[in-house]
Structure 1
Amino acid sequence: MADEDESDGTGGGDAAIAVEDVTVRLGDAAVLRNVNATVDDGQFVGLVGPNGAGKTTLLRTVAGVLAPESGRVTVGGRNVHDLSSKAASRLVATVPQETSLSFDFAVRDVVAMGRHPHRSRFGGEDREGRDAVADAMERTAVAEFADRPITAVSGGERQRVLLARALAQNAPVLLLDEPTASLDINHQVRTLELVDDLVADGKTVVAAIHDLNLAAHYCDELLLLSDGELVAQGPPGDVLAEETLQAAFDANAVVSRHPVTGSTYVTALPDRPDPREGRVHVVGGGGTVSRLLYLLSAAGYEVSVGVLNEGDSDLETARTLGLDVVTEEPFAPIAGESREVVERYVRDADVTVLADVEVGAGNLPNLDAARAADDVVVVEERPFAERNYAGSEAAATYRELCERGTVVDSDDLLAAVEDAV
């Protein structure tokens, strides 16, 4: 083991973390097998994969807690398993998924526990340590209840306290095991926004994240583990491919772009071994239906869409999926032949889906055509008044479609279409 007083230099140009041909056994089971991965300085890397894939084991191995049967892990060019516990803790701080804190320690004292790797055997806390604790509590917004017992804080607050403890440790690498587990969506976003800020300040972060869409939105790269093996590493858009997700999770999923954030977005679908019976026509445009087209197509429905103007991003998606599309020239109003074709598609469809599209004089005929549908599903994400530029006629038509159809948000689209078909 290395001496506890050895330098904490990070080895110059080495990767922040290098996992080299690592195999880890727990009892008779090989939990990790021949894993190779690198994480560069200042990256936020998400560790994703199904339950039991080995994510926690990999984090504990990188932290130096578990020793590999073969291979090695270096942090800043130094083998963490050749270091003492204190020396490794000066390089790597961890926030475990579950921590037993049953004693009534004050929050400030829990955060101060992160300074242990920097204390000498007989020395107390110095000013640098006190400043580090205060800064960590301020950064994570736990200073306001610093004197409260840790047993008296909420789950979301406790997660921030544990993160503050890791920050007080002042290590260049931060490992998080499911930091958003058991948190509501508001606290999930706040936690990952804080982590994102830490990365912007120079920290290197690896986090096991259960939610693939949160991981895709916040992480620079993803590591996908399955059954103890590294399946893929790279940008979220490359790792979260439908074929890869099928192999790793045994799941039927559609991968698209989120309509608001533009990040990679994964939607899990129920298993449908046979094509769905039923034809669906989709009315949209301006980027409002790309995700809906992916969902409906992957679910096995026969899908048509239009009228869409040339150059519309929804048109590119429809052509990629090989769907029937009614088109019009760029910026041209819907008229003549295109109007007749879309009316025929609506009549032939079992259900027409009206997306959360902006309506003006040019595409008002799309709204009018939907009135001929046998069944209508209206996808509403924004009030129609905010996207109506065609006046009272459009408002009256939209109200009629809502009254005789089913109004849903995009997450409930498939269930509504299935009911209608």
Structure 2
Amino acid sequence: MSVLETRGLTYSAEGRPLVEDASFRLEPGELTMLIGPNGSGKSTLLRLALGLLAPDAGEVLIDGAGVRGLSPMARARKAAYLPQTRPLAWPMPVRDVIALGRFAYGAAPGQLSAEDAAAVARAIAACRLAGFESRAADTLSGGELARVHLARALAAETPLLVADEPVAALDPRYQHEVAQLFAAAAHEGRAVLTVVHDLTLAARYADRLIWMKDGRIVADGSVAETMAAERLAEVFGIDAEVMPSGSGVSLTVAGPAR
């Protein structure tokens, strides 16, 4: 059974179609990256897939159950979500922010069970946050705080992990480390879906790419199957050279398509 399945999702706002007839499945053990230009509907599709928006048409199943019929707590035990905007308005210690990922299991930051504490410790280690545990989260840099929020999502240890532009605030080294974290989470058996804008990261780490343009899914498959110069020109409006490499494909962008 698929971890997540969307069927014909359609959604409009103020009379403007944002997502049209979007269908895809996420399987355990697969890192799927959702790519497309700004305004193509990627963030809206994520919110529809998680039941955070009600579609005009279509349905979503998580582990075979309709997502809109799940309670917020039940949904949080199945899917961890890292949104694009992640405000933090109070000076909580880093460990307590990460422990919020265990809330769906009844955990409170100061009252973690042994299982919850172990999950938090694994997330801290994975995101290279050892030594930051007692720091106030509002004293961190943007990149450090981005890693804290990622650790919070990882600490939930859900079958499905969904992230919207998780590497946007990170320097190149940490962009690759986060991509490797997502790949590791997938290869441990989770289904991982993340929006990225860095096409070289997508080419390097994704098991599968879902391409969006103008609210529609226009391609869905492996990097080797879908990453082509013609598609990059059509979807992103760029001239690029795509060559096979040991890690999949290498991508060189020359500039805007003529």
TM-score over 0.5 (shorter chain): yes
Taking structure 1 as reference, are residues 143 and 270 closer, same or farther at Cα in structure 2, changes over 3 Å only? closer
Partner of 2:239: 252
Within 5 Å, give how 1:229-378 maps onto structure 2: 229-258=216-245, 261-270=246-255
Shift of 1:229: 0.0
SS of residue in 1 equivalent to 2:166: coil
Is 1:35 the counterpart of 2:22? The answer is yes
SS at match of 1:56: helix
Report % sequence identity. Answer: 35
1:157-168 residue pairs with structure 2 within 5 A?
A: 157-168=144-155
CA 271–57 in structure 1, closer or farther in 2 if over 3 Å, else same: closer
Q: What is the CA–CA distance in structure 2 between the aligned matches of 1:262 and 1:114, rounded to whole Å? A: 33
Q: Which consecutive residues of structure 2, in runs of 5 or more, have no partner in the other structure?
A: none
* Structure 2 Cα separation of the partners of residues 219 and 88 of structure 1: 25
Shift of 1:117: 1.2
Please report how far the alpha carbon of residue 28 of structure 1 lies from its aligned counterpart in structure 2 after TM superposition: 2.1
Residue by residue, what CA displacement relative to the aligned partner does 1:1-60 show, whole Å, maximum 9, x if unpaired? xxxxxxxxxxxxx11211110012233222100001112111000100001111111111
SS of the residue aligned with 1:100?
A: coil
In 2, Cα distance between equivalents of 1:144 and 1:64: 36
Query: Does the alignment pair 1:45 with 2:32?
Result: yes
Alignment of 1:3-42 (within 5 A): 14-42=1-29
Q: What CA distance in whole angstroms lies between the structure 1 residues aligned with 2:211 and 2:247? A: 21
Q: Which amino acid aligns with 2:244?
A: R
- 1:154 and 2:141 are equivalent in the alignment: yes
User: CA separation in 2, counterparts of 1:185 and 1:237?
Assistant: 24
CA shift at 1:120, angstroms?
Answer: 8.0
Task: Say what the alpha-carbon RMSD is for the aligned residues.
Answer: 1.8
TM-score by length of 2: 0.93
Which of 39, 44, 48 lines up with 1:61 in the alignment?
48
Is the Cα contact below 8 Å between 2:5 and 2:62 reproduced in 1?
A: yes
- The answer to which structure has the higher strand fraction is 2
Runs of 4+ in 1 over 3 A off after TM superposition: 270-273
C-alpha distance after superposition, 1:246-278 (max 9, x if no partner): 2212222222234xx4422232334575xxxxx
Higher relative contact order (CA 8 A, sep 6+): 2
Look up the equivalent residue of 1:76 and give its one-letter code. D
User: What's the TM-score, normalizing by structure 1?
Assistant: 0.58
Q: SS of the counterpart of 1:15? A: coil
- Partner Cα distance (1:139, 1:17) in 2: 25
Q: Identify unmatched segments of 5+ residues in structure 1.
A: 1-13, 274-421
| Partners of 2:34 and 2:211 within 8 A in 1 | yes
Count of residue pairs the alignment pairs up: 256
1:247 corresponds to which letter in structure 2?
A: E
Which residue in the other structure is 1:380 paired with?
none
What amino acid is aligned across from residue 248 of structure 2 in structure 1? S
In structure 2, distance between residues paired with 1:26 and 1:265: 38
1:128 is matched with which residue?
115
* Cα distance in 2 between the residues matched to 1:214 and 1:204: 18
User: Judging changes above 3 Å, is the alpha-carbon distance between structure 1 residues 270 and 125 closer, same or farther for their aligned structure 2 residues?
Assistant: closer
Contact 1:253 1:269 in 2 (8 A): yes
